[in-house]
Structure 1
Amino acid sequence: MALPDELTARLKRTDDGLIAAIAQERSTGRVLMLAWMDDEALARTLATRRATYYSRSRQQYWVKGETSGHIQYVHDITVDCDGDTLLLTVDQTGAACHTGNHSCFDTAPLEFGVPVETD
């Protein structure tokens, strides 16, 4: 599978060929997770509408929900103005986070005005 030339030229990848991919829930607008894609993962996602990412730690592709059943059905993908981030609008079945939470951003917000120690 190959990406269209126009899209390939528009994307700015990291030195290892990856692009940040943010998954956002279509029904709520909630940010679910951030993962990584390369051209092959993006091409697979465009062909199947199943979110396919590249695991940096395992050095392999993974289809979200393939083993867990927590599927991401992709409705659309947009490229940000710099061409270095993708936004996937998805329907999420089950948890998006590997911890079992619906979103990887289910933590308390950071507090403003709190002194931070630095070296």
Structure 2
Amino acid sequence: MTLLPTFAPPGSKRELEEGETFTPRFGPDGLITAVAVDADTGEMLMLAHMNAESLARTLATGEAWYWSRSRGELWHKGATSGQIQTLVEMRVDCDQDALLLRVRVGGDGGCCHTGRRSCFYRGVSYDPESGAVTLVPRAS
């Protein structure tokens, strides 16, 4: 069995922003935001959330694990679809409350459960004259 890492509680502002210790700041719900991008192209693939266990599993296995808020359970991305996200690099933002995962996607190369490459396949359009806000398909 692989030993999962543990995370110390966040330190001072200086330690968070300038230190060398990874102390992710989980929100009151126990989650941290994670953005997955294609490691080769930089294309934004998806936004998800991680709890301490999914973050630890991601680091230990080199494959992306998330916390499914809708299902209330751990989610090994691609376990059923084959779209495993292999971690190339993980970055943390300045105050350690958001993660950037640079990944390579297995299977058909898609990432979204709709079968698309990215979850961000629609743009938001606003018509100031009518006040209408609509969704518009976007090319990847």
TM-score normalized with structure 1 length: 0.86
Structure 1 equivalent of residue 116 of structure 2: 101
Count of aligned positions: 113
Structure 2 equivalent of residue 110 of structure 1: 124
Where structure 2 has 5 or more consecutive residues not aligned to the other structure, the ranges are: 9-20, 133-140
Q: 2:94 aligns with which of 58, 70, 81?
A: 81
- Root-mean-square deviation (CA), in Å? 1.5
> d(CA) in 1 for partners of 2:83 and 2:5?
27
Percent identity of paired positions between Structure 1 and Structure 2: 48
- Structure with larger Rg: 2
Write the deviation string for residues 41-82 of structure 1: whole angstroms up to 9, x where unpaired.
111000001100011111110111101101100011100112
CA positional deviation for 1:111:
4.1
Where structure 1 has 5 or more consecutive residues not aligned to the other structure, the ranges are: none
CA positional deviation for 1:4:
4.3
Q: 1:67 to 1:60 in 2, by over 3 A?
A: same
Name which structure has the greater RCO, CA cutoff 8 Å, separation 6+. Answer: 1
CA positional deviation for 1:30:
0.1
TM-score normalized with structure 2 length: 0.74
